[in-house]
Chain A
Amino acid sequence: MSETKPFLLELGVEEIPHWMIVPALGDMERLFQELCQTHQLVPGELKFDGTPRRLVLRAAGLPERQADRVELVMGPPKSAGAGAAMGFAKKNGVSVEELSTEVTPKGEYFAVSRKIEGREVRQILAEALPALISKIPWPKAMYWTGKGGTTFIRPIRWIVAMLGDSVVEFELAGVKSGTLSRGHRRMGSDEIAFDHTNYEERLEKNGVILSAAKRRKRIQDGIKKLLKGKGLELIADDSLLDDLVYLTEYPTPILGSFNPEFLALPQEVLSTVMRHHQRYFTMRDGEGKMAPHFLAIMNMKADKKGYVVKGNERVLEARFNDARFFWDQDQSRKLADRVEDLANVTFQAKLGSYKDKRLGVEAGVCRIAGALNLDTRLARRAAELCKTDLMTEMVKELTELQGVMGGLYAKVQGEPDEVWKAIYEHYEPASMESEVPSSDYGKILSIADKLDSLEGCFALGMIPSGSKDPLGLRRAAQGIVKTIVEGRLRMNLRKLVNEGAEETNRTFLRIRSDYKEDRAADGELKLAKQIWEFLLDRVRYYFREVRHYAYDELAAVLAAGPVDLVDIESRLYALKQVRQTEEFEPLAAAFKRMRNILKQAGWQSGTVNPALLEEGAERELFDETTRVLAKVAVYRQSEDYMASLNVISSLKPAVDHFFDKILVNAPDPAVRDNRLALLGGLYNEVSSIADFSEIVTSSTTE
């Protein structure tokens, strides 16, 4: 093993979008590990760092040379004789005595061991690094040296590649690798000499904090210092902090303020402007109210003359002025007067305008309100107004406030609480992490809106496939599932899907020439089946990934065909609990056995004739089953699945005994059918809660 040397690769790139830096470092690590593996190199400890202007890879110790290897070269079979051996030896530059004999399944062969000298690692790197760099995948790459040239996220402007103290020479996109780094755009030198021990220190002297953790800490410490004794509390925002860590090479917070008059505007507007548009942190005062201050993060050391604070304050004031202008102007026309204008706003190019959408949502929300015994007039009103804020100046400018603004305007314009709140939160839940709407009308409007999108898109064949889902339909379906389950809305979703599909079908037949009705053999719309299947897929995803139920638990419960998602959750919960009891697993195995027996016998239906029961195990199972199922029927009245499953578990001894003593396939067909009916009745009853035979048990042998 030769001596090892530290290795450093720094890619100097024009400002990389902040959100791509961390994934790119991950890809670099993967690619470098692959490179090391291919060339049998052990790189020592690896470190990856990134700023907007550089991606850095450091390996603690790469050998100067690859280790030498011995390779066995196979020759002719021994049976070929001395002549062949001599020829083989000569070809390999050895004497016949140096040949060895290798035993293989095909017989004995001559062979010779050849030593392969390890290559210079510097040379390996010089050859492999350009390809490694080019292979880093980017969401949207560009070329800059001319058509057909290298592509990367932004132009590469310098490359440092140093093994030990000297350069690993290569060229990529016209840039030759070297040993000089560059500092901060405005605070550093363009020719920084360094060695492996003082790299970070030299960069820092030149205005670059290489480590993201240190940049984060500098921001946090700086904020603490700025807020000390001011009676202000930062409203934490980790994703904004992440953005700023990767938008800067030398972050420094500054504290600015704005005219408290603007606090009269809705807080949602102020914080959207500050956080989303200006990337400022917002603050609360001692009483928990929004404070007329903001924290901005500069990409430099200090704002000595206060120009940066002043500039940011000026920009914010202009933005708030705009917002106030929009707020006032938007009030001049009520949402209710804007309903007809929805015809002028595109919902989706193929589907048409928000006017059509609104009508669909209205019909849908009324159906859901009906199913839940809510006031359909309030639901309809909320649906009628919910998209009208798209035409307000405020939402045109601050699109992320869609819905929220509608709610705020509706409130000011005197709409009932149920209505404005529903509008306010009907885009929720925006993601798996966000909360579902808090109000009943908000929940049903959110569901109706999303269900309408599914209906329209599916009807026109715009169904997500693979990773492609440009219209966010999976997210919409996921939102429906999450809202129903976490909002605890008890309803027959299957029926709602059917009714929605039927209505879409009627409407599209009337107004669209590009739509054809398509019904399955059972008369049901294929559209309804497709939407239901799509939702079920999200149901599985939700309970597995978010609620951590096991795959087979879901399969067991869904096999029972439930149509109420809250009910599905109760069953899953009960099943998960009961599953941990001692009796359960053998019982599940027994049910699997029942299923197989029934399947083989082709059993469809039948009732038990008690007169034909054999005394002992068979009679015992019949009595036990009768007793247990009677109890289950009572428990199910109150949807007590836990008690139901527990009492079913108590069947285990009787079931075991039955299978021990009784031959189902009795010679007398009447007895046999009676036994099948006994098992079939029990199996069907239990499977209407959860199909135990779906449960994967350690004794499962299928």
Chain B
Amino acid sequence: MDSYQETIFKLKRFWAKHGCVIQEPYDIEVGAGTMCPETFLRVLGPKPYSVAYVQPSRRPADGRYGENPNRLYKHSQLQVILKPAPANVLDLYLESLEAIGIKLDQHDLKFEEDNWESPTLGAWGIGWQVMMDGQEITQFTYFQQCGGVDLDLVPAELTYGLERLIGFLQDRKSVYDIEWVAGTTYRDVRFRDEQQFSVYNFEKADVGMLWKLFDLHEAESQRLIDEFRGLDPEKDAHEKKRFPLLSAYDHVLNCSHTFNLLDARGAISVTERVGVIARVRKLAVGVATSWVDQQNLLNAVEVAQ
């Protein structure tokens, strides 16, 4: 039996062998690996790119104080982007399962329809949840749109839910019993996170302060987007090509996480909710479309050269 970290090493090695850049987790709180710029921005535009990374994904409302054996505030996803998706992408995926010791002739696998949509990111895709012996182990998506923009190349996104997958491989009834490495369990590493962040998210987070943060991040992101849009593609070409859209996007991520915190705290009323989601979406779409413009400027230079 492989440990939690050994399985992760094997998956990373597998995808490295198939041409993926191996990235480290993004260092801002996100709800899913999809939101990292390595996915959200890189899938835009005509340039091929393949990448894999583990992303701790924080969903404040899902926290259970460490008391529920299957539910976590912060779970880990191994996110793989193959842009464009090769024709044998599903075969590759099956090979990756073999690479972590799953004997495919001894297990039942089904691909069940499960399309993905994120209203806050203006993104959607078509795909499946992959079921092994009745357990969902991976989410597979062919992206179609991101930030409201139709994608030039269609990427495949594979998201392995690591706790579920490895809990399954190690035959654990609770994620906390997963062996992280010999002698150390998931509980040893993560229990305090679950407990303390649940206490903070549900009981202690300062709602007024969070709203202030939300407004600040929103304003900063919007200011940058507006400034970028105001630049002339010819006169300000230099400035436009080096403009910090990545920073604008970091502020979008901060908005999104702050929204999730407010939501978990029960601070967003029904009538406000739709409006707040629309505010985050506006920023995400703003950055995405600006990013596409910037990429086009940069590509035009490349083509010219």
Contact = CB atoms under 8 A, between A and B. Distances in A.
A311 B132 contact: yes
Interface string A131-169: 000000000101111110000001101000000000000
Contact of B70 (A18, A52, A318, A345): A318
Contact of A305 (B106, B173, B270): B106
A221 B302 CA distance: 64
A142 B156 CA distance: 12
A625 interface: no
Nearest to B135: A315
B134 A311 contact: yes
Interface in B150-198: 150-154, 168, 171, 173
Nearest to A154: B126
B3 interface: no
B106 A317 contact: no
A17 B110 CA distance: 11
A187 interface: yes
A314 B135 CA distance: 9
Contact of B68 (A248, A322, A345, A352): A322
Contacts of A147: 150-153
Nearest to B84: A146
Contact of A52 (B108, B111, B150, B271): B111
Residue among B87, B104, B115 with most chain A CB within 10 A: B87
A352 B85 contact: no
A321 interface: yes
Contacts of B133: 307-308, 310-312, 314-315
Interface string A305-337: 101101110111110011001000000000000
Interface stretch (A296-304, A408-416, A547-555): A296-304
Residue among B104, B105, B153, B168 with most chain A CB within 10 A: B105
B87 A311 contact: no
A299 B110 contact: yes
B107 A308 contact: yes
B259 to A, nearest CB: 15
A185 interface: yes
A321 B69 contact: yes
B274 interface: yes
Given A247-B110, A349-B274, A352-B271, A140 B126 contact: yes
A316 B106 contact: no
B106 A144 contact: no
Contacts of B107: 307-308, 311
Nearest to B69: A321
Interface string B109-131: 11111010000000001101000
Nearest to A252: B108
A606 B173 CA distance: 86
A307 B134 CA distance: 11
A186 interface: yes
Residue among B87, B108, B142 with most chain A CB within 10 A: B108
A318 B173 contact: yes
A142 B142 contact: yes
A255 B81 CA distance: 38
A300 B154 contact: no
B273 to A, nearest CB: 7
Q: Which 6 A-B pairs have the closest CB atoms?
A: A311-B133, A17-B113, A15-B111, A298-B108, A312-B134, A142-B126
Interface of B: 68-71, 84-85, 87, 90, 94, 104-113, 115, 125-126, 128, 132-135, 142, 144, 150-154, 168, 171, 173, 266, 269-271, 273-274
